[in-house]
Structure 1
Amino acid sequence: MIRLWQRVGKVRALAVLVLVAGLAGGYVIADRQTQHNATAEPVKAADAASLPRSGASPSAAPASSDQASAQTKAQDAASAAAAQAKAAEDAARKKKEEEASRSTRSAGPPSYPAPASCDVYKGHRNTGCAELLAAGFGLDQMPCLDKLWTKESGWNPKAHNNSSGAHGIPQAVPGKKMAAYGPLWETDATTQIKWGLNGYIKPRYKTPCAAWGHSQSTGWY
Protein backbone atom coordinates (compact mmCIF):
# COMPACT_ATOMS: atom_id res chain seq x y z
CA MET A 1 0.00 0.00 0.00
CA ILE A 2 2.82 2.34 0.88
CA ARG A 3 4.51 1.64 -2.41
CA LEU A 4 1.28 2.33 -4.20
CA TRP A 5 0.96 5.75 -2.60
CA GLN A 6 4.54 6.47 -3.40
CA ARG A 7 3.87 5.70 -7.04
CA VAL A 8 0.76 7.92 -7.02
CA GLY A 9 2.76 10.68 -5.43
CA LYS A 10 5.44 10.37 -8.09
CA VAL A 11 2.81 10.46 -10.83
CA ARG A 12 1.25 13.59 -9.33
CA ALA A 13 4.62 15.22 -9.00
CA LEU A 14 5.45 14.36 -12.58
CA ALA A 15 2.08 15.71 -13.72
CA VAL A 16 2.71 18.94 -11.84
CA LEU A 17 6.12 19.27 -13.44
CA VAL A 18 4.65 18.66 -16.88
CA LEU A 19 1.96 21.26 -16.21
CA VAL A 20 4.49 23.82 -15.03
CA ALA A 21 6.74 23.13 -18.00
CA GLY A 22 3.79 23.50 -20.36
CA LEU A 23 2.81 26.82 -18.84
CA ALA A 24 6.36 28.06 -19.00
CA GLY A 25 6.69 26.97 -22.60
CA GLY A 26 3.42 28.63 -23.50
CA TYR A 27 4.57 31.90 -21.90
CA VAL A 28 7.82 31.80 -23.84
CA ILE A 29 6.02 31.10 -27.10
CA ALA A 30 3.49 33.87 -26.43
CA ASP A 31 6.28 36.31 -25.58
CA ARG A 32 8.17 35.44 -28.74
CA GLN A 33 4.97 35.84 -30.81
CA THR A 34 4.37 39.27 -29.27
CA GLN A 35 7.92 40.35 -30.06
CA HIS A 36 7.53 39.07 -33.60
CA ASN A 37 4.29 40.99 -34.09
CA ALA A 38 5.80 44.18 -32.67
CA THR A 39 8.71 43.87 -35.09
CA ALA A 40 6.55 42.97 -38.07
CA GLU A 41 4.09 45.85 -37.72
CA PRO A 42 6.63 48.66 -38.50
CA VAL A 43 7.89 46.60 -41.40
CA LYS A 44 4.38 46.24 -42.77
CA ALA A 45 3.77 49.96 -42.25
CA ALA A 46 7.02 50.80 -44.03
CA ASP A 47 6.12 48.47 -46.86
CA ALA A 48 2.68 50.04 -47.12
CA ALA A 49 4.18 53.55 -47.25
CA SER A 50 6.49 52.51 -50.07
CA LEU A 51 3.63 51.14 -52.16
CA PRO A 52 1.92 53.48 -54.72
CA ARG A 53 -1.33 55.06 -53.60
CA SER A 54 -4.64 53.71 -54.78
CA GLY A 55 -5.40 54.79 -58.34
CA ALA A 56 -1.83 56.03 -58.96
CA SER A 57 0.58 54.47 -61.36
CA PRO A 58 4.27 55.06 -62.12
CA SER A 59 3.30 56.20 -65.61
CA ALA A 60 0.91 58.93 -64.36
CA ALA A 61 3.50 61.73 -64.43
CA PRO A 62 4.77 60.95 -67.95
CA ALA A 63 1.18 60.65 -69.17
CA SER A 64 0.33 64.05 -67.69
CA SER A 65 3.46 65.55 -69.23
CA ASP A 66 2.60 64.07 -72.63
CA GLN A 67 -0.94 65.44 -72.36
CA ALA A 68 0.32 68.94 -71.52
CA SER A 69 2.75 68.78 -74.44
CA ALA A 70 -0.04 67.69 -76.79
CA GLN A 71 -2.27 70.54 -75.60
CA THR A 72 0.54 73.06 -76.13
CA LYS A 73 1.14 71.78 -79.65
CA ALA A 74 -2.58 71.95 -80.39
CA GLN A 75 -2.77 75.55 -79.15
CA ASP A 76 0.27 76.53 -81.20
CA ALA A 77 -1.24 74.93 -84.28
CA ALA A 78 -4.55 76.75 -83.72
CA SER A 79 -2.75 80.09 -83.28
CA ALA A 80 -0.74 79.52 -86.45
CA ALA A 81 -3.89 78.62 -88.38
CA ALA A 82 -5.66 81.75 -87.12
CA ALA A 83 -2.69 83.92 -88.11
CA GLN A 84 -2.62 82.37 -91.59
CA ALA A 85 -6.37 82.92 -91.99
CA LYS A 86 -6.04 86.58 -90.97
CA ALA A 87 -3.10 87.10 -93.31
CA ALA A 88 -5.08 85.55 -96.16
CA GLU A 89 -8.09 87.73 -95.36
CA ASP A 90 -5.93 90.88 -95.25
CA ALA A 91 -4.29 89.97 -98.54
CA ALA A 92 -7.67 89.35 -100.18
CA ARG A 93 -9.02 92.68 -98.93
CA LYS A 94 -5.93 94.53 -100.10
CA LYS A 95 -6.15 92.87 -103.51
CA LYS A 96 -9.81 93.82 -103.78
CA GLU A 97 -9.04 97.45 -102.94
CA GLU A 98 -6.20 97.54 -105.48
CA GLU A 99 -8.44 96.06 -108.16
CA ALA A 100 -11.16 98.60 -107.37
CA SER A 101 -8.61 101.39 -107.50
CA ARG A 102 -7.27 100.20 -110.86
CA SER A 103 -10.81 99.90 -112.18
CA THR A 104 -11.58 103.44 -111.12
CA ARG A 105 -8.40 104.78 -112.71
CA SER A 106 -9.00 102.94 -115.95
CA ALA A 107 -12.59 104.10 -116.14
CA GLY A 108 -11.59 107.67 -115.36
CA PRO A 109 -13.30 110.06 -112.97
CA PRO A 110 -17.07 110.43 -113.19
CA SER A 111 -18.42 113.40 -115.10
CA TYR A 112 -21.63 115.33 -114.64
CA PRO A 113 -23.21 118.29 -116.43
CA ALA A 114 -21.50 121.48 -115.28
CA PRO A 115 -23.73 124.06 -113.57
CA ALA A 116 -24.24 127.39 -115.28
CA SER A 117 -22.69 129.23 -112.36
CA CYS A 118 -22.16 129.04 -108.59
CA ASP A 119 -25.47 130.83 -108.12
CA VAL A 120 -27.31 127.53 -108.41
CA TYR A 121 -25.92 126.61 -104.98
CA LYS A 122 -26.85 128.06 -101.62
CA GLY A 123 -25.15 128.36 -98.23
CA HIS A 124 -21.92 126.46 -97.71
CA ARG A 125 -22.27 124.86 -101.14
CA ASN A 126 -22.17 128.32 -102.72
CA THR A 127 -19.02 129.07 -100.70
CA GLY A 128 -17.58 125.73 -101.81
CA CYS A 129 -18.23 126.53 -105.46
CA ALA A 130 -16.52 129.92 -105.17
CA GLU A 131 -13.49 128.38 -103.46
CA LEU A 132 -13.44 125.64 -106.11
CA LEU A 133 -12.96 128.24 -108.84
CA ALA A 134 -10.40 130.10 -106.70
CA ALA A 135 -8.41 126.87 -106.37
CA GLY A 136 -8.19 126.59 -110.18
CA PHE A 137 -10.87 123.97 -110.85
CA GLY A 138 -13.64 124.29 -113.41
CA LEU A 139 -17.37 124.31 -112.74
CA ASP A 140 -17.53 120.76 -114.08
CA GLN A 141 -15.88 119.61 -110.85
CA MET A 142 -18.54 121.12 -108.59
CA PRO A 143 -21.12 118.29 -108.98
CA CYS A 144 -18.43 115.81 -107.84
CA LEU A 145 -17.42 118.00 -104.90
CA ASP A 146 -21.07 118.42 -103.92
CA LYS A 147 -21.67 114.66 -103.92
CA LEU A 148 -18.40 113.96 -102.07
CA TRP A 149 -18.94 116.33 -99.16
CA THR A 150 -22.66 115.64 -98.98
CA LYS A 151 -21.71 112.05 -98.31
CA GLU A 152 -18.92 112.92 -95.86
CA SER A 153 -20.57 115.58 -93.72
CA GLY A 154 -23.69 116.98 -95.36
CA TRP A 155 -21.68 120.22 -95.69
CA ASN A 156 -21.88 120.67 -91.91
CA PRO A 157 -18.77 122.43 -90.51
CA LYS A 158 -19.47 120.97 -87.06
CA ALA A 159 -19.77 117.38 -88.24
CA HIS A 160 -17.52 115.15 -86.14
CA ASN A 161 -16.81 111.43 -86.16
CA ASN A 162 -16.12 110.28 -82.60
CA SER A 163 -14.55 106.98 -83.63
CA SER A 164 -12.05 108.33 -86.18
CA GLY A 165 -11.75 111.94 -85.06
CA ALA A 166 -12.67 113.20 -88.56
CA HIS A 167 -14.01 116.75 -88.42
CA GLY A 168 -15.73 119.39 -90.48
CA ILE A 169 -17.04 119.56 -94.03
CA PRO A 170 -14.09 117.67 -95.59
CA GLN A 171 -13.80 115.34 -92.55
CA ALA A 172 -10.13 116.05 -91.87
CA VAL A 173 -8.30 113.50 -89.68
CA PRO A 174 -7.33 114.97 -87.31
CA GLY A 175 -9.33 118.15 -87.61
CA LYS A 176 -6.49 120.38 -86.42
CA LYS A 177 -4.80 119.89 -89.78
CA MET A 178 -7.13 122.58 -91.08
CA ALA A 179 -5.58 125.15 -88.73
CA ALA A 180 -3.02 125.84 -91.50
CA TYR A 181 -5.84 127.63 -93.38
CA GLY A 182 -7.33 129.60 -90.49
CA PRO A 183 -7.60 129.77 -86.69
CA LEU A 184 -11.32 129.03 -86.62
CA TRP A 185 -10.94 125.66 -88.33
CA GLU A 186 -13.36 123.93 -85.93
CA THR A 187 -16.41 125.94 -87.06
CA ASP A 188 -15.52 128.15 -90.04
CA ALA A 189 -16.80 126.64 -93.30
CA THR A 190 -14.51 128.72 -95.56
CA THR A 191 -11.37 127.61 -93.69
CA GLN A 192 -12.45 123.97 -93.90
CA ILE A 193 -13.33 124.18 -97.61
CA LYS A 194 -9.99 125.80 -98.47
CA TRP A 195 -8.11 123.04 -96.67
CA GLY A 196 -10.25 120.34 -98.29
CA LEU A 197 -9.60 121.64 -101.81
CA ASN A 198 -6.02 122.90 -101.60
CA GLY A 199 -4.58 120.92 -98.70
CA TYR A 200 -6.08 117.52 -99.41
CA ILE A 201 -7.92 116.88 -102.68
CA LYS A 202 -5.51 118.68 -105.03
CA PRO A 203 -2.25 117.06 -103.79
CA ARG A 204 -3.82 113.61 -103.23
CA TYR A 205 -6.35 113.16 -106.07
CA LYS A 206 -5.72 116.10 -108.41
CA THR A 207 -9.43 116.81 -108.89
CA PRO A 208 -12.68 116.56 -106.88
CA CYS A 209 -14.10 114.12 -109.44
CA ALA A 210 -11.11 111.79 -108.96
CA ALA A 211 -11.63 111.99 -105.18
CA TRP A 212 -15.32 111.21 -105.62
CA GLY A 213 -14.53 108.25 -107.89
CA HIS A 214 -12.20 106.83 -105.25
CA SER A 215 -14.84 107.31 -102.58
CA GLN A 216 -17.37 105.42 -104.68
CA SER A 217 -15.06 102.44 -105.17
CA THR A 218 -13.65 102.19 -101.64
CA GLY A 219 -16.11 104.01 -99.39
CA TRP A 220 -13.59 106.65 -98.31
CA TYR A 221 -11.32 109.28 -99.82
Structure 2
Amino acid sequence: MPSFKLRTRTSAAVLAGAAALTGLGAALVPATASAATLSPKAIAAQMVPANQLASFSQIIFHESSWNVHATNASSGAYGLGQALPASKMASAGADWRTNPRTQIKWALNYMNTRYGSPNAAWAFWQTHHWY
Protein backbone atom coordinates (compact mmCIF):
# COMPACT_ATOMS: atom_id res chain seq x y z
CA MET A 1 0.00 0.00 0.00
CA PRO A 2 1.50 3.35 -0.99
CA SER A 3 2.26 5.86 1.69
CA PHE A 4 0.92 9.39 1.27
CA LYS A 5 2.18 12.37 3.11
CA LEU A 6 -0.29 15.13 3.69
CA ARG A 7 1.05 18.57 3.19
CA THR A 8 -0.67 21.44 4.84
CA ARG A 9 -0.36 24.95 3.64
CA THR A 10 -1.58 27.90 5.60
CA SER A 11 -1.93 31.14 3.78
CA ALA A 12 -3.87 34.28 4.39
CA ALA A 13 -5.75 33.74 1.12
CA VAL A 14 -6.83 30.22 2.05
CA LEU A 15 -7.90 31.26 5.54
CA ALA A 16 -9.72 34.32 4.25
CA GLY A 17 -11.50 32.25 1.62
CA ALA A 18 -12.57 29.66 4.17
CA ALA A 19 -13.76 32.34 6.55
CA ALA A 20 -15.78 34.00 3.82
CA LEU A 21 -17.42 30.71 2.99
CA THR A 22 -18.44 30.24 6.60
CA GLY A 23 -19.81 33.74 6.94
CA LEU A 24 -16.95 34.95 9.10
CA GLY A 25 -15.21 36.96 6.41
CA ALA A 26 -16.39 40.29 7.75
CA ALA A 27 -14.56 39.73 11.02
CA LEU A 28 -11.28 39.30 9.13
CA VAL A 29 -11.51 42.51 7.13
CA PRO A 30 -9.23 45.21 8.53
CA ALA A 31 -10.99 48.15 10.14
CA THR A 32 -9.12 50.41 7.73
CA ALA A 33 -10.89 49.06 4.63
CA SER A 34 -12.97 51.75 2.97
CA ALA A 35 -16.73 51.84 3.22
CA ALA A 36 -16.92 51.60 -0.56
CA THR A 37 -15.40 48.12 -0.48
CA LEU A 38 -17.47 46.67 2.36
CA SER A 39 -21.16 45.91 2.61
CA PRO A 40 -23.11 47.73 5.31
CA LYS A 41 -23.42 44.38 7.16
CA ALA A 42 -19.65 43.93 7.15
CA ILE A 43 -19.18 47.47 8.43
CA ALA A 44 -21.69 46.84 11.21
CA ALA A 45 -19.79 43.68 12.16
CA GLN A 46 -16.73 45.89 12.72
CA MET A 47 -18.56 48.54 14.75
CA VAL A 48 -21.27 46.83 16.80
CA PRO A 49 -20.30 44.71 19.81
CA ALA A 50 -20.58 41.01 18.93
CA ASN A 51 -23.18 40.34 21.63
CA GLN A 52 -25.38 43.13 20.19
CA LEU A 53 -24.89 42.50 16.47
CA ALA A 54 -27.81 40.11 15.91
CA SER A 55 -30.27 42.57 17.44
CA PHE A 56 -28.77 45.52 15.58
CA SER A 57 -28.98 43.55 12.34
CA GLN A 58 -32.63 42.63 12.92
CA ILE A 59 -33.62 46.25 13.46
CA ILE A 60 -31.73 47.50 10.42
CA PHE A 61 -33.15 44.70 8.26
CA HIS A 62 -36.73 45.48 9.34
CA GLU A 63 -36.30 49.25 9.04
CA SER A 64 -34.41 49.52 5.73
CA SER A 65 -33.45 46.08 4.40
CA TRP A 66 -29.84 47.32 4.74
CA ASN A 67 -30.49 49.98 2.07
CA VAL A 68 -28.41 53.09 2.81
CA HIS A 69 -30.81 55.19 0.71
CA ALA A 70 -34.08 53.75 2.07
CA THR A 71 -36.67 56.49 2.43
CA ASN A 72 -40.07 56.23 4.07
CA ALA A 73 -42.39 57.98 1.61
CA SER A 74 -44.91 59.02 4.27
CA SER A 75 -42.61 60.17 7.09
CA GLY A 76 -39.36 61.04 5.36
CA ALA A 77 -37.35 58.73 7.63
CA TYR A 78 -34.07 57.92 5.89
CA GLY A 79 -31.19 55.49 5.81
CA LEU A 80 -30.28 52.24 7.48
CA GLY A 81 -31.73 53.21 10.85
CA GLN A 82 -34.58 55.31 9.43
CA ALA A 83 -33.63 58.55 11.17
CA LEU A 84 -36.46 61.04 11.52
CA PRO A 85 -35.79 63.74 10.60
CA ALA A 86 -33.09 62.34 8.38
CA SER A 87 -30.79 65.28 9.09
CA LYS A 88 -30.32 64.02 12.67
CA MET A 89 -27.67 61.72 11.23
CA ALA A 90 -25.50 64.77 10.50
CA SER A 91 -24.41 64.53 14.14
CA ALA A 92 -22.47 61.39 13.15
CA GLY A 93 -20.86 62.89 10.04
CA ALA A 94 -21.36 65.21 7.12
CA ASP A 95 -21.55 62.25 4.72
CA TRP A 96 -24.64 60.79 6.42
CA ARG A 97 -26.67 60.65 3.18
CA THR A 98 -24.39 58.11 1.50
CA ASN A 99 -21.93 56.59 3.98
CA PRO A 100 -23.09 53.37 5.66
CA ARG A 101 -20.38 53.72 8.35
CA THR A 102 -21.79 57.12 9.36
CA GLN A 103 -25.35 55.79 9.38
CA ILE A 104 -24.35 52.77 11.48
CA LYS A 105 -22.48 55.03 13.91
CA TRP A 106 -25.61 57.14 14.29
CA ALA A 107 -27.99 54.17 14.63
CA LEU A 108 -25.79 52.44 17.21
CA ASN A 109 -25.53 55.64 19.24
CA TYR A 110 -29.31 56.12 18.99
CA MET A 111 -30.00 52.58 20.20
CA ASN A 112 -27.53 52.91 23.06
CA THR A 113 -28.78 56.35 24.12
CA ARG A 114 -32.52 55.70 23.85
CA TYR A 115 -32.72 52.03 24.88
CA GLY A 116 -29.39 51.20 26.50
CA SER A 117 -28.29 48.76 23.80
CA PRO A 118 -29.29 47.25 20.46
CA ASN A 119 -30.57 44.19 22.37
CA ALA A 120 -32.94 46.38 24.38
CA ALA A 121 -33.93 48.29 21.23
CA TRP A 122 -34.76 45.00 19.48
CA ALA A 123 -36.87 43.86 22.45
CA PHE A 124 -38.82 47.13 22.16
CA TRP A 125 -39.10 46.76 18.37
CA GLN A 126 -40.55 43.25 18.70
CA THR A 127 -43.36 44.59 20.89
CA HIS A 128 -44.07 47.85 19.05
CA HIS A 129 -42.77 47.22 15.49
CA TRP A 130 -40.82 50.48 15.63
CA TYR A 131 -38.00 51.80 17.77
Q: Give the TM-score normalised by the residue count of structure 2.
A: 0.70
Instruction: Report which structure shows greater RCO (CA 8 Å, sep ≥6).
Output: 2
CA-based RMSD of the aligned residues comes to 2.1
**One-letter identity of the residue aligned with 1:212:** W
**Aligned pair 1:141/2:49, yes or no?**
no
Report the count of equivalent residues: 101
CA distance in 1 between counterparts of 2:45 and 2:118 reads: 11
SS across alignment from 1:187: coil
Gaps of 5+ in 2: 1-22, 30-37
Structure with bigger helix share is 1
Q: Give CA-to-partner distance per residue, 1:165-196, whole Å, 9 cap, x none.
A: 11000000011000111111111111111011
5 Å-filtered alignment, 1:39-188, equals 118-119=26-27, 123-132=39-48, 138-188=49-99
Residue 204 of structure 1 corresponds to which residue in structure 2?
114
Runs of 4+ in 1 over 4 A off after TM superposition: 115-118
Q: Give the TM-score normalised by the residue count of structure 1.
A: 0.43
What's the % identity of the aligned pairs? 38
CA distance in 2 between counterparts of 1:214 and 1:157 reads: 23
SS across alignment from 1:168: coil
* Partners of 1:141 and 1:208 within 8 A in 2: yes
Gaps of 5+ in 1: 1-114, 133-137
SS across alignment from 1:193: helix
Larger radius of gyration: 1
Q: Give CA-to-partner distance per residue, 1:189-209, whole Å, 9 cap, x none.
A: 1111101111x1111011111
**One-letter identity of the residue aligned with 2:122:** W
